[in-house]
Amino acid sequence: MAPIIQVSLDVTSIDEALDLAGAAVRAGVDWLEAGTPLILAEGLHSVEALREAFPEHPIVADLKTMDGAGLEAEMMFKAGANMVVVMG
């Protein structure tokens, strides 16, 4: 099985994240990670924008959430994330 390449979009604007994600996808990246700084700065909109721009790529929402993880994960899934990072 081939390795999966993931890029972490640890930026604070949707526009910069979309630019970086586009370059990463063109370079062959498999998974896109909405990094913690992006989610903190832009919220659910960052995941929605990535999903709209890259409908075929898995999206990881790097929430690093603890309390309320179920609700927060559900919100990210509804926004288009395939996976969510939860602290334990």
- Direct distance between the N- and C-terminal alpha carbons of the chain, in angstroms, rounded to an integer: 29
**Which residues are paired to 9 by β-bridges?**
34
**Which amino acids are annotated catalytic?**
64
Q: Report the distance separating Cα 30 and Cα 43, nearest Å.
A: 23
Q: What is the DSSP letter of 61?
A: E
